[in-house]
Amino acid sequence: MLGKSLLLAVVAAVSAVNADNEFLGFNYGATKTNGQIKAYDDFKEEFELAKALPGASGKFTSARLYTMIQGPSKDDPISAFQAAIDTQTSLLLGIWCSAGPEIVANEISALTKAISKYGTKFTDLVVGLSVGSEDLYRNSVMGIENKSGIGAQPSDLVNYIGQVRKALASSPLKSVPIVMSIPGPSGLTVLTILSSMPWTGSVSMPILTFNLQWPIPLTTLLHCSGMLTKPRKRLPVRKSGSPRLAGPLPERI
């Protein structure tokens, strides 16, 4: 179960504005803090708790899932899907690509089973599908230096994206946006991924590192965000009253 005090602290610190096409929510793992596998009731309680957070006006209505498989099965749809349907919680689905091709195939199988089982009651809630979570970071120089674990190769991620698109080609999710976490390094790693995706966007956030000197005050970075429109090109975006981030981007962030 999500820590109620943690959620309340988050809401107290964030002024959430739920504009059109904007989704606010939390990440939800498939297991509890004690390692026990979550069931339907656990997800339903968490989704309802997020919606009922004091001061949030019921705006936290989205969930990001890291897996679509209900443990300990091979490829049964996760019970979070039924909980999302019953609570009208929108979903950013996830495939944990670092686990290898067999697990990726099982994730895709779980998704197609869910589409067949729940139909549009399920697919209408899906706002995106994450293929790979920080795999490129873990496979980068920085990720290796920080011992972040094994990450899938760019060519593997392109292959997985193709498998997902093929599996969903005749389903209501055939045009679902596919997203992934792409770190700062430039070159063939990012270009290999971008070439397989018709659209790419990014949210830029300040990240502290051990080997990078930022000449920009942290107070400025905290107010900056950007949109990646092409490889190696960033278009800064400024919210009202927020300073722009000027100058070239570092090679790694």
Q: What are 158-205's pLDDT values in tens digits?
A: 899 999 999 999 999 999 988 776 655 444 555 566 666 655 545 454
Residue 122 and residue 115 in contact, taking contact as beta carbons nearer than 8 Å: yes
pTM passes above 0.75 = no
First-to-last alpha carbon distance for the chain, in angstroms, is 33
Closest CA relative to residue 135, chosen from 170, 96, 192, 94: 96
Closest CA relative to residue 126, chosen from 182, 70, 183, 172: 172
- What the chain holds in terms of domains, given with CATH numbers, is 4-200 (3.20.20), 203-253 (no CATH)
Q: Catalogue the E-assigned strands of the chain.
A: 24-28, 60-65, 90-95, 126-131, 178-179, 225-230, 233-237
Residue 126 and residue 84 in contact, taking contact as beta carbons nearer than 8 Å: no
Residue 216 and residue 245 in contact, taking contact as beta carbons nearer than 8 Å: yes
What pLDDT digit, counting tens, does each position of 104-153 carry?
999 999 999 999 999 999 999 999 998 887 777 777 777 777 787 887 88
pLDDT attached to residue 242 = 32
